[in-house]
A and B are shown apart, each in its own frame.
Chain A
Amino acid sequence: MADVVVERGRVARATGARKGKSLRNALGRKSTVAFFLTLPLILLIAMLVLYPAFYSLYLATLNKAMTKFVGLSNFTFLFKRETFWMVVQQSCIFAITAVIFKALIGFIVAHFVHNIPGKKQRKWRGMLLVPWVIPPAMSTLAWLWLFDPSYSAFNYTLSFFGVGPIPWLGDTFWARFSVILVNVWYGAPFFLIMYLAALKSVPDQLYEAAAIDGANWWQKIWHITLPMMRNIIAITTLFSLIVTFANFDIVRILTSGGPLDTTHLFATWAFQVGIQSSDIPLGACVSLFMVPILAVAAIFILRDVSKRGNEA
């Protein structure tokens, strides 16, 4: 992106010099202007993103009252707690399962939408994207009501098939299932839209050539669709992995981590420890454990983005 640059600093400097005023010259200089244009952005990122990020590293080394430096003892304390390992495990289960299902459902539904005639695609796409548009805090309330222990509309429906009543949020397995289900429901439309855009960019000629060579639908997907969409699949999955791993709203509203802390993610547990039990250093410590996996995903995304930047 940065390689699309106009060579006009020279022109600007030339006109500036002709006017002869040094202040005007300095103000008109490209780098000065650019600096002032990006200054608010730099300040915002430095003060409210970078500084807190490093501040949380510092906080994680303090004791609960934040009066003295305790080094890594917060970390070693966490390693000894069973809940911590459960949170690690549940975060990984949650993020990986949810992302896989979101990607699968997105991929499948994108194909169905792509199959139907063009005019109707708009309508269907509009309908299927609704979960992504509703603020997650609001839609999770609807799920909470659907999962209600005594008035669950799902259990009412299932009772006609002789199933249930299912303790959606009361039992460890079902609570984990439910939070993943809601996350898949919320995130799948994003994948759908991304894959649909990618599907449209695959040239029809490739499929026609494959059809002439006698390829079946599976071969078409495996040898044409997937390689053509590889980039977008990778980047969408990594994005979603970050967002899902750092998810807060859904688990907080649906279960608040229960039953018995079995559905806690890093974010919700950090909230409970750091804000509700006001042990800020320990909370900071918990949320810092998200950094490694986020960093790995970010490196892969960045590689992909800069690769495409160079191609452009």
Chain B
Amino acid sequence: MSTLTIDKAGPSRKVKYGSMSRDRTWALRWSYFFLVLFAIFFLTPPIYMLITSLKSSAEISAATNPWWVFHPTLSNYVELLTSNQFLRFFWNSSMISIIVVIVTMLISIPAAFALARMKFWGSATLATGVFLTYLIPDSLLFIPLFKMLGVIQEYTGITLLNRWYVLLFIYPTLTVPFCTWIMIGYFASIPKELDEAALIDGASWLQTLTRIFIPVALPGLIAATIFAFTVSWAQFLYPLVFTTSVDQLVLPVGITTTLIKGDVFNWGQIMTGALLGAAPPLVIYAFLMDYYIAGLTAGATKG
């Protein structure tokens, strides 16, 4: 560890003072020590999920060390992945998330393009308004939305409450403002010369958007897509309020309401379900971490 430090300290510092590099070595050791502590704090729940998911019900209720699996079994996974109910939750969640991502992109990319490049009456106000909308939390809107859906249902006769597809209309309110906001940032950072050149070559607005802006701002687009997907996947309040029948539930609500039967908590299955539910965002994160982080930081630093 100490050799590594000196290597690292080497190029950045032209004159090396003995005491300073010793200080750095100690700073590094302390850093690692505390990082390990914090990593334990941050990773305990997911690891404990994994541990519990590998246990049988008998082992969970036995008075053994809970942090260790003595008889690992995949029965929880087999049981959940062959249960129609759980697969239904997974299917509902996937359908909703994918469609919401597409809808979000179809709404926010053109809007961001217009707001970033075409100055029109009220465009600055609208950009600020979009940002403000992002700050309105779901917990403020679920009651009026619930009532609204009820009223619409009464007038039109279309069943909206307790149907998963109603979430397709509601989720974009969570994803579109933020995606538009970060796409405005990415689009605005594209040099004007690029689209002026396209314009001179006779490209229309649409062509400028699809041929220049989307390819150039692709990293931002991926970040926005990841954001929209993870938000739709994780949303808990709206589906809890708007859907109740077992076949209409999405994963987070399904796991919390159906796997807990009365007072009996089947913890092995609950943890397995939670882990499987956390898997898609975790996989996306593992492969596209840089885009994920770009999206996270863009919200506050771009603008």
Residues in A lying within 8 Å of B, measured CB to CB: 1-2, 4-6, 8-9, 11-12, 28, 30-31, 33-35, 37-38, 40-42, 44-45, 48-49, 51-53, 55-56, 59, 105, 108-109, 111-113, 115-118, 122, 124-139, 141-143, 145-146, 148, 151, 153, 156-157, 185, 188-190, 193-194, 197, 204, 211, 232, 235-236, 239, 242-243, 246-249, 252-253, 266-267, 270-271, 274-275, 280, 283-284, 287-288, 290-291, 294, 297-298, 301-302, 305-306, 308-309, 312
Contact = CB atoms under 8 A, between A and B. Distances in A.
A290 B137 CA distance: 10
Given A52-B148, A105-B38, A117-B8, A133 B111 contact: no
A294 B140 contact: yes
A258 to B, nearest CB: 14
Interface in B1-55: 4-5, 8, 12, 20, 27-28, 30-32, 34-35, 38-39, 41-46, 48-49, 52
B234 interface: yes
Q: How large, as a class, is the contact surface on chain B?
A: 35 or more
B123 interface: yes
17 contacts: A31-B121, A33-B118, A38-B114, A40-B110, A45-B133, A49-B141, A59-B143, A129-B285, A129-B293, A135-B230, A135-B233, A141-B256, A151-B267, A193-B293, A246-B139, A294-B136, A298-B132
Interface in B168-191: 169-170, 172-173, 176-177, 180, 184-185, 188
A270 B278 contact: no
Contact of A37 (B43, B110, B172, B230): B110
B124 A2 contact: yes
A147 to B, nearest CB: 11
A56 B133 contact: no
A226 to B, nearest CB: 17
Contacts of B265: 148
Contacts of B192: 4, 6
Which secondary structure characterizes the binding site on chain B?
helix
Contact of B132 (A122, A141, A302): A302
A56 B270 contact: no
Contact of B114 (A37, A148, A151, A246): A37
B256 A137 contact: yes
Contacts of B177: 45
Given A48-B145, A116-B35, 4 more contacts: A105-B38, A109-B38, A113-B31, A235-B300
Interface string B106-125: 11101101111111110110
Contacts of A142: 45-46, 48-49, 271, 274
A135 B230 CA distance: 8
A297 B131 CA distance: 13
